[in-house]
Amino acid sequence: MNADKTKKSFSSRLSKNSQQGLDGINLQYALSIEGAERLCLPEETMCNDNGKTIAEISCVGGKLSAYVNAVHCIRPNNLKPLTVTEAIKLEMIKSEVIGFMRDYLKKHLQRQDSEGYVDNLMVKELECNLTLGCVNGATPSAVISLFEHALDKTTLHKQRKDKGTYNKMVASCFYKKKKEYHLKIYDKTLEQREKGNLQVEDNLLRIEIVFIDRSLKRIYGDKRSLSDILTKEAVRILCKEYRRIFEKDLIEKYLKPYLNWCKKTLYDSLDEANGKKISETIARHKEHIPDWEVFGKALHYWYQQKGKNDRTAKVLSYYRKKDMGISDGVLRTIKLFHTSC
């Protein structure tokens, strides 16, 4: 796909209210100078006033590696990413970070052409995320559990108790699409509090996509230097790609089919019992009810197919009061993420 055409189409359709944005950037460049394979330089880090890393750079075996957290240039932490609406600050970030890297190379390499090496650093990983609070009583753990069941080949992490056993809270879920992106969905509130930020609000969920290899080449072509990426247009393209993956992969490919399967499983169970023993259906298929809304849809469909009076609202109200460990607000939280990106 032509990178220029992609930029144009992405720019024209991205909402000004989109809340996803740029976070971490990993870059690399292999030096082509004589004896580079033996060259190792110490790592140096540039931090903000709160001690958070803005940029770091090092060289091992002639390979320059750099990391940039653009958000830390303008905020004390990265609870919220750098969105398109904040792009006016990108020139300041670019100047500050590139200046730091050029000074590092000039000091350690002592070559007249060393400043140009920064321009050759190519983006290898580019992170875009969206962080929002869960709604209608949902918790990050409940939303993460739904993704973990819907996605294939995930890696799941649970929070440990002090004695070393796992409790029921799901802290994070990882998924990889080969040579395209890495997906991480995790409890941002838990992560921040473990780092000492006890004032962070409750029930924050982060859905993070790290673009790699093919996806970077597809959307940016060869324009993947730090100067290319720290622009409003590049951030706009990144946000648009995030939305595309959220819609086409996460929702259409995984969540919808899984939720439809859950609904069918519940419907079949209700039909087998002719609508009776609803409590047994709930108990038997509890893991297939990621949200009361899913069970409600299955029950409503059963009443509709059988031509019976629809008692869905009363049944849901009755079982919700029993506190059966089934969540509310999971689907609404996902819808909020969808509309916000």
Supply the pTM of this predicted model: 0.89
Domain co-membership, 163 together with 308: no
Task: Return the beta strands (E) in the chain as ranges.
Answer: 21-30, 41-47, 53-60, 63-69, 122-133, 155-160, 166-177, 181-187, 204-212
Domain co-membership, 260 together with 247: no
Q: Could you report the per-residue pLDDT of 248-307, keeping only the tens digit for each? A: 999 999 999 999 999 999 999 999 887 678 989 999 999 999 999 999 999 999 999 999
Average pLDDT over residues 98-120: 89
- How many Cβ atoms from other residues are within 10 Å of residue 285's Cβ? 17
Q: What percent of the chain has pLDDT over 90?
A: 72
- Residue 16: pLDDT band (50, 70, 90) is low
pLDDT at 6: 40
Identify the CA nearest to 55 among candidates 75, 28, 25.
25
pLDDT at 163: 47
Task: Collect all residues with Cβ–Cβ distance below 8 Å to 187 and sequence separation of at least 6.
Answer: 140, 141, 144, 169, 171, 172, 204, 205, 206
pLDDT at 159: 57
Domain co-membership, 174 together with 150: yes
Domain co-membership, 140 together with 18: yes
Domain co-membership, 120 together with 74: yes
Domain co-membership, 237 together with 269: no
Domain co-membership, 25 together with 56: yes
- Of 216, 234, 253, the residue that ends a domain is 253
Average pLDDT over residues 73-94: 90
Taking each continuous run of H as one helix and of E as one strand, the counts in the chain are 13, 9
Domain co-membership, 238 together with 299: no
Provide the domain count of the chain: 2
Question: Does residue 82 contact residue 71 with C-beta atoms inside 8 Å?
Answer: yes
DSSP for 38-63 reads G--EEEEEEE-TTS-EEEEEEEETTE
CA angle 238, 243, 245 (to 5 degrees): 95
Q: Which domain holds residue 299?
A: 256-340
- Of 210, 227, 253, the residue that ends a domain is 253
Domain co-membership, 210 together with 158: yes
Q: Could you report the per-residue pLDDT of 149-189, keeping only the tens digit for each? A: 999 766 656 555 444 444 456 889 999 999 999 999 999 99
Domain co-membership, 335 together with 300: yes
Domain co-membership, 13 together with 48: yes
Domain co-membership, 82 together with 167: yes
> Across the chain, what does the average pLDDT equal?
89
- Of 232, 253, 274, the residue that ends a domain is 253
